[in-house]
Copies of this chain bind each other. A is one copy, B any other.
């Protein structure tokens, strides 16, 4: 079974890690018994995580790819468990010196994290593809899942707000998502191309899973590229709602939904994905939305979707995979 996950930052990375724990169990357990007891672990699977690059930007001379790094750090077991982004045990000496000199420190770059930005920036200057750079870092850091940028093209997300059009990180980090969102654009989306790697992974997929990421600024900029949306729609697609009890676990998804004129609910997310979505996983807090989503001809799994621990990720991933493949078997 080949599984493709579409992911943004922290929520997407956590769920992708849950999938990786199930699909590449030898990496994640030393307990031989537990391998033999789990049916998922006896089958041959692959996981490809296609990651949003709309948040990427140039800053202080470096190419920063926040979602890619969050996914890679999380899958490598290096992520900061407190924040979900950045690296565990990070230090901030470069930022301290930058601050001392009077430089811009609104986007905080940890010392270890800077090593990744230096690696990527140098490799891009050598003419390497972002796809290959990420693959090299993943191999070095022991990431077993395949991680693919949605595109090697620049595709910056622009947020149209009541305070004007803002580059994504300006909106997200510098202004703390405070401006009211009126619309979202992906600059250059007409000419951006999905990589051959992404196309091949989707076309080969038995299941596409949309991680619990922001629909507007994490998932849309993946499926908006070329014919990715159509290719995804041709596959069985399951999504995990990023909304729990009307709130986003992290980030501005709920606020964006409201500002764009939708209820901040899982139903709104299901409607947003309706053209390609077959299965939707919502939280027990939102069980009352099941019927409304099923009316969209989307099968619904209601479960606990909040991932507090590393084990929660695996538990949720297993439930989602079981739900998706049982449904697919039932349908033939």
Interface residues of A (CB under 8 A from B): 59-63, 87, 90-91, 93-104, 109-116, 118-119, 121-123, 125, 136-137, 140-141
Contacts and interface: CB of A to CB of B under 8 A. Distances in A.
Contacts of A104: 122
Contacts of A95: 115
Contacts of A63: 61
State the number of copies, please.
Answer: 2
A94 B123 contact: no
Closest 8 CB pairs of A and B: A97-B115, A61-B121, A93-B111, A103-B119, A111-B111, A98-B115, A94-B115, A101-B119
B121 A97 contact: no
A97 B121 CA distance: 14
B125 A97 contact: no
Contact of A112 (B90, B94, B115, B125): B94
Q: For A90, A113, A118, which residue has the most chain B Cβ atoms within 10 angstroms?
A: A118
Contacts of A100: 115, 140-141
A103 B93 CA distance: 21
A114 B136 contact: no
B118 A98 contact: yes
Given A101-B116, A103-B118, 19 more contacts: A61-B63, A62-B62, A87-B97, A90-B93, A91-B91, A93-B93, A93-B111, A94-B94, A94-B111, A95-B115, A96-B115, A97-B116, A100-B115, A100-B140, A100-B141, A101-B137, A101-B140, A102-B119, A111-B114
Listed residue (A101, A111, A136) with the most chain B CB atoms within 10 angstroms of its CB: A101
A104 B125 CA distance: 13
Contacts of A99: 115
Contacts of A137: 101-102
